Amino acid sequence: MAKLYFYYASMNAGKSTTLLQADFNYRERGMRTLLFTAVVDDRAGVGVIASRIGLAADAVAFDAATDLRACIEKELANAPLHCILVDEAQFLSEAQVDQLAAVCAPTSRAICSPARRGCSRSPIRSPNSNRCACAGARRQ
């Protein structure tokens, strides 16, 4: 059974760097990944995950209306996915957290969702941080 992981830490702790390193490691081994990032995080451009050390990758930009499960199923129709990585997970809606948890149940793919506890565009403690942690705990 796949697992849903939720990583969180303070700002500038290297979460995006770790996500991009994981993406690189999967791809280096010939595995296929799918990256998501929040539309509101446009520091490096909409749909781009970037770290302070210069690493960057294109990602699917999501907002509150995005059906992540439908996006994932569309990608699965093309080829198997080995890992789904979500940056800025504090911007996920409750329904989107549930969509990610539902994708884990019948598959063997890992899903990692790095997020920071707070930023200038969100409350210090996102209401869905606990939901992400609970969804992860249910699937581990």
User: Which residues are catalytic, by number?
Assistant: 88
59, 35 in Cβ contact below 8 A? yes
37, 71 in Cβ contact below 8 A? no
Q: Tokens 């969804």: give the residue.
A: 135
